[in-house]
């Protein structure tokens, strides 16, 4: 695997590069495991390395979406605005379990606690709705990038927040109008947003948002949307 100097990167974020992600093929079939570091190097992504991920969209009872701005310590896409929580299930028995994506939903619960400080009992895996999957690839810089099949997860609940500043520099709840204003700012390069959030916002998000009480009709566990 390629040699990359991480001395200039944030110490806490570098430690997380040792986590073992789940390697998959283009149909989301598990083929092995590799470190978060190796999964996010463009040199490996260019050879086809692909891993499993998730994106959580958490709405409060006023139908506002919780956004976060990634900290400047993040190795990929620092300072970018994005959806509530974006991360990876790990190659661990509890998070490898595939029946109804329960492993991915457990990973989402774990990361919402780690990033946003949401108590584990406030959002259980059973309260997280798995909608569908998207497959995308994006470069963060010359060294690091993303290549994921991303499970789209929805939650609607009022939660307690206590974000980790090493993960998140700011957060806010937004209406549809406020998100459209943010997307407009991003199009003028006034703010940065993550590529996966941009893709989802430009395709499916507002349709799903309009139907929060009736999302069952949008559940599609067969198709992987190639973005």
For the annotated catalytic residues, the residue numbers are 86, 148
Instruction: Report the run of H or E that residue 184 belongs to, with start and end.
Output: helix 176-187
Distance from C-alpha of 5 to C-alpha of 38, rounded to nearest angstrom? 13
Distance from C-alpha of 199 to C-alpha of 182, rounded to nearest angstrom? 14
Distance from C-alpha of 135 to C-alpha of 146, rounded to nearest angstrom? 10
Q: Mapping DSSP to helix (H, G, I), strand (E, B) and coil, where does residue 157 land?
A: coil
Distance from C-alpha of 68 to C-alpha of 107, rounded to nearest angstrom? 18
Burial label for 150, CB within 10 Å (0-12, 13-18, 19+), is buried
DSSP for residue 100: G
Distance from C-alpha of 33 to C-alpha of 211, rounded to nearest angstrom? 36
Closest CA to 107 of 148, 64, 52: 52
Tokens at 119, concatenated: 């108590």
CA dihedral 115, 119, 120, 124 (to 10 degrees): -100
Helix-helix angle 195-203:176-187, to 10 degrees: 120
């Amino acid at each position: 695997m390629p040699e990359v100097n991480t001395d200039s990167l944030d110490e806490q974020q570098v430690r997380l590069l040792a986590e073992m992600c789940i390697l998959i093929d283009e149909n989301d079939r598990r083929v092995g495991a590799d470190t978060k570091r190796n999964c996010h190097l463009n040199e490996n992504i260019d050879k086809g390395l692909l891993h499993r991920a998730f994106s959580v969209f958490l709405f409060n009872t006023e139908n506002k979406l919780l956004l976060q701005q990634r900290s400047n310590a993040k190795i990929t896409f620092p300072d970018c605005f994005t959806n509530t929580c974006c991360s990876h299930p790990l190659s661990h028995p509890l998070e490898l379990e595939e029946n109804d994506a329960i492993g991915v939903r457990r990973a989402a619960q774990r990361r919402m606690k780690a990033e946003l400080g949401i108590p584990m009992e406030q959002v259980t895996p059973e309260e997280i709705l798995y909608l569908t999957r998207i497959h995308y690839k994006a470069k963060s810089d010359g060294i690091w990038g993303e290549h994921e099949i991303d499970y789209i997860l929805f939650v609607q609940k009022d939660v307690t927040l206590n974000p980790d500043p090493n993960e998140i520099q700011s957060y806010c709840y937004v209406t549809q109008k406020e998100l459209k204003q943010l997307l407009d700012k991003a199009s003028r390069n006034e703010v940065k947003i993550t590529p996966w959030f941009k893709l989802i916002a430009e395709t499916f998000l507002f349709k799903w948002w309009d139907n929060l009480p009736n999302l069952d009709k949008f559940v599609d566990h067969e198709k992987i949307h190639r973005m």
